[in-house]
Amino acid sequence: MNISIFGLGYVGAVSLACLAREGHNVIGVDVDPAKLELIRGGRTPVVEEGMVELMAKVVASGRVVVTTDAGEALRNSEVSFICVGTPSASNGSQDQGAVLRLAREIGAELKRIDRVHTLAFRSTLVPGTVEDVLRPAIEEASGKKEGRDFHVCFQPEFLREGSSIRDYDNPPYTIVGANAEAPVQVLRRLFGHLPCDLHVTSVRSAEMIKYCCNNFHALKITFANETARLCEALGVDPFQVMDLVSRDTQLNISKAYLKPGFAFGGSCLPKDLRATLHLAKSHDVELPMHAGIIASNRAHLDHAIAKVLGTGKRRVGLVGLAFKTGTDDLRESPMVFLAEHLIGKGLTLAVYDPEVHLSSLLGANRRFIETHVPHLGALIASKLEDVAERSDVLVVGLNDKGTLEQLRRLLRPHHVVVSLVDIGDTSGLAGTHAGLCW
């Protein structure tokens, strides 16, 4: 295939070398003549393992051309990868100056090109940039229509500096954010052979996934480092601790706990987090990320409260009261907190949880209700029907299959459903869905 690459930094130069290695003809475009000169001479503009040999080889093959002329590149290729830098502006926002200027330049050149061209953005871009900023800029400069005269898509780049050729050959997956099949087919032809899955998403999701991955990596590093600081103060070996934490692939390094839902609660996580913070404080160890977890959980609760109040309905039915599905444990349940807050706002409440029947609650749970929330006991109904009948808004805090099926049958057009957990397909709901997660 004939390919253009705009921006020959780490991402662009490695992509150029790897695509040329695979037999494609690649035209590299950069505004920096020094980089172009290096590549023309078969040398690499970035320091990366394997790049010296690879660049020399692909340039010698004659399949690599470099230029500052965007028009020349676009005229001689069918797909372009945009890999220019998107650094931080001084206020922390993303500086999109280079990519926006380039989009306008590409648009002006596309005006004179009759073939349908695919533009794959690979620079990291905040969600919405391709569809709301770059596509309109290209359409305005070219007078052409995306989806008909040219295609845009977003393909996040997952390579890491230092191991970028290896990462190019073994990505975790290929993600293509696109609104049409044509750009997906182009990228499938180029990357479909890689030993990983190719997922097609909306353009915005693809943009978001890149941020989410980077933020998750930063979170992991910070978690390990904060844990290590506390371990050091306690005389514990942080390497052994983190090594064994990482070896639990059921609960720790797994999909567990990574599904969006309601705030955490229960008898363990909140109290153990509080104890960790107290311990750290008593040893003069700062753990801002750990401390932030509690504030973030509270913000999630506040968001749910605002969502329920935002429906404007005064008769609320809570489906679920325990801190998670399948248990009757009410200790530090965010659903209990939510119930109390809504009562405090003067709303009428009815509560149903298949696992929580006041008559059968024992020990710590019963004591919890009697001492902490005695007024809640009177609101617990034994049948979901009663709750549905007495409510205009139904707040779903559990994803027990049987209860959800029953709820679907009981929904009436006046009901507004606020789901705090994944309740599956919401398209056929009789009432209005105002879910938190989607």
Ligand X SMILES: NC(=O)c1ccc[n+]([C@@H]2O[C@H](COP(=O)([O-])OP(=O)(O)OC[C@H]3O[C@@H](n4cnc5c(N)ncnc54)[C@H](O)[C@@H]3O)[C@@H](O)[C@H]2O)c1
**Which residues are known to be catalytic?**
268
Listed as own residue / partner, the contacts of 166-172 with beta carbons closer than 8 Å and 24 or more positions apart are 166/49, 166/50, 168/14, 168/15, 168/18, 169/18, 169/194, 170/194, 170/195, 170/196, 171/196, 172/196
Q: Provide, rounded to whole angstroms, the least separation between the CB of residue 6 and ligand X.
A: 5
Which residues are CB-contacts of 331 (< 8 A; sequence separation ≥ 6)? 265, 266, 267, 323, 364, 365, 368
Q: Provide, rounded to whole angstroms, the least separation between the CB of residue 207 and ligand X.
A: 11
Q: Provide, rounded to whole angstroms, the least separation between the CB of residue 219 and ligand X.
A: 17
Nearer to ligand X, 124 or 333 (CB): 124
Q: Provide, rounded to whole angstroms, the least separation between the CB of residue 163 and ligand X.
A: 10
Helix axes 51-60, 33-40, angle to 10 degrees: 70
Binding mask 11-40 for ligand X (x = CB under 6 A): xx----------------xxxx--x-----
Annotate 370-400 with b (16+ C-beta within 10 A) or e (fewer).
Answer: eeebeebeebbbeebeebbeebbbbbbbbbb
CB distance 99 to 134 below 8 Å: yes
How are beta strands 348-352 and 198-201 bridged, if at all? unpaired
Rg from Cα positions in the chain: 28
Tell me if 81 contacts ligand X by CB under 6 A: no
Tell me if 71 contacts ligand X by CB under 6 A: no
Tell me if 123 contacts ligand X by CB under 6 A: yes
Tell me if 86 contacts ligand X by CB under 6 A: yes
Q: Which residues 250-289 are close enough to bind ligand X by CB under 6 A? A: none
Question: What tokens does 38 get?
Answer: 């290096």
Tell me if 297 contacts ligand X by CB under 6 A: no
Nearer to ligand X, 103 or 380 (CB): 103
Q: Provide, rounded to whole angstroms, the least separation between the CB of residue 213 and ligand X.
A: 9
Distance CA 218, CA 199 (A): 24
Distance CA 213, CA 195 (A): 20
Stretch that binds ligand X, among 77-85, 130-138, 191-199, 381-389 (CB under 6 A): 77-85
Stretch that binds ligand X, among 3-11, 215-223, 281-289, 372-380 (CB under 6 A): 3-11
Tell me if 85 contacts ligand X by CB under 6 A: yes
Q: Which residues 132-161 are close enough to bind ligand X by CB under 6 A? A: 157, 159-161
Which residues contact ligand X by CB under 6 A?
6-12, 29-32, 35, 83-86, 98, 101-102, 123-124, 157, 159-161
